[in-house]
Chains A and B, each alone.
Chain A
């Protein structure tokens, strides 16, 4: 809905984007402003639409591996995890245990990298240039580790139906242990540098408050709902893969403001490190790919629904097949899309500079919204 022109000329309509740096991509936000105050903010989508769901319906299951990474460049492995789990559930494929452990370890490493990317981008939105240099320093190590295993840095194409395509080696395990140790020292540094900083606190404390009721009404998920005090995490409420075997907590904060969401993500890095540590300890021996992988993964007529916890929230895949190796229908529920829907209500009546803070704290990945 485009705001009506105002005959009294008290308000003005402002376009934020589609090329605005703090919209992290091609998102356009249509703002109705009264001076510096936002009356109404309307996200306009569709500038980067690439028909990923339709592509899933013309390509075989195997052909879709490359697409999942293009939807979420921050946490590509979570998206791949959801896809392979959905196909495996649909065609009753049993994955070797070692492969599931490797999937969880690499996905959590990717989640840490995604949150580090978010910290840098969020603070860049708020005008702080320094922290992105620190967070990208750490993220680079995580990406190097993942590159060593998967062969790519962002769009991994690593998980296969029936396992993973490469085994992890001693170099990866040693490097990951070093990375965990390093991150444990760096997190307090981030808290000193960022969380305690008075300018940062003034920008985010009490800004963009999402209360429990509003969060439930809009169906926001991930760190956003956990920042509103609801411990909703698919890894706990509907465990998949080998997550039930790990001991980890779901960090929640009751305030519901940008600061709470920042703290949730900082704590989640720590929890992901715990999962990786336990995963490396418990890592069983064995193959990483099931024996006799069919060249065409066929599944009988039927449908399935698989949800996983991506770095930004709940990610769901709905697959319906008619007995061929190509899905008849693929529906993806991506977390950022639902999280963005709350923008209009949460930003009415706030300052334009606070809108940037709210949008930053949502951790929007536009290719995942416009998929």
Chain B
């Protein structure tokens, strides 16, 4: 009998202790963010889908079409088309097709790249109504991103590199990108 009464009192006390904690936290500051109205800062290290690095001097990508990323990708989501134009010494990237629906973000492609031409984008708000919305054409994206960063694309003149022009325009591009 006494044990039962003790248990009831002890139990009621434990509930009050729990309630007091709830009350204490109920009065304190809200810990959640009300999403569409406020957003949290995303760390710059966030790994979104891959993107080609924009060269801030020329406004172009650094890819040399060595196909290492395509070969190392365990999911087979990268497809590269490269051509060798008449008279040119090097292969040139024509299409860099990323099928993001297959990608599991292991990062092997970024690490294997010999010219560090790949980076992770910071896009986390990806949404689409069909799976084709997640097929990215990275060469097109480079043009758009260079435009958005305010970099003037330097056209390569065959056999006639102009270092003065590139050097003169580089600081402008750097300022705008930051």
Interface residues in chain A, defined as those with a beta carbon under 8 Å from any beta carbon in chain B: 59-60, 62-67, 70, 130, 134, 137, 144, 147-152, 155, 157, 160, 165-166, 189, 192-194, 196-199, 201, 295
Contact = CB atoms under 8 A, between A and B. Distances in A.
B15 interface: yes
Interface residues on B, range: 20 to 34
Interface in B7-58: 7, 10-12, 14-15, 17-18, 21-22, 25, 31, 43, 45-47
A197 B14 contact: yes
B11 A157 contact: no
Contacts of B140: none
Contact of A147 (B12, B18, B45): B45
Nearest to A140: B31
Interface in B60-86: 72, 74-75
Nearest to A58: B74
A60 B111 CA distance: 15
Interface string B93-119: 000000000001111100110000000
Give chain A's interface secondary structure class: helix
A151 B21 contact: no
Nearest to A171: B43
A189 B45 contact: no
A48 B176 CA distance: 49
B17 A192 contact: yes
Contacts of B74: 59-60, 62-64, 66
Contacts of B75: 66
Contacts of B112: 295
B18 A197 contact: yes
Contact of B45 (A130, A149, A193): A149
Interface of B: 7, 10-12, 14-15, 17-18, 21-22, 25, 31, 43, 45-47, 72, 74-75, 104-108, 111-112, 120
A306 to B, nearest CB: 20
Given A148-B45, A166-B45, A197-B15, A189 B21 contact: yes
B106 A63 contact: yes
Contacts of A151: 43, 45-47, 107, 120
A147 B15 contact: no
A253 to B, nearest CB: 20
23 contacts: A62-B74, A62-B106, A63-B74, A63-B108, A66-B75, A66-B104, A66-B105, A66-B106, A147-B46, A148-B45, A151-B107, A151-B120, A155-B105, A157-B105, A165-B107, A189-B21, A192-B21, A193-B17, A193-B22, A196-B17, A197-B14, A198-B10, A198-B14
B47 A148 contact: no
Contacts of B45: 147-151, 166
B33 to A, nearest CB: 11
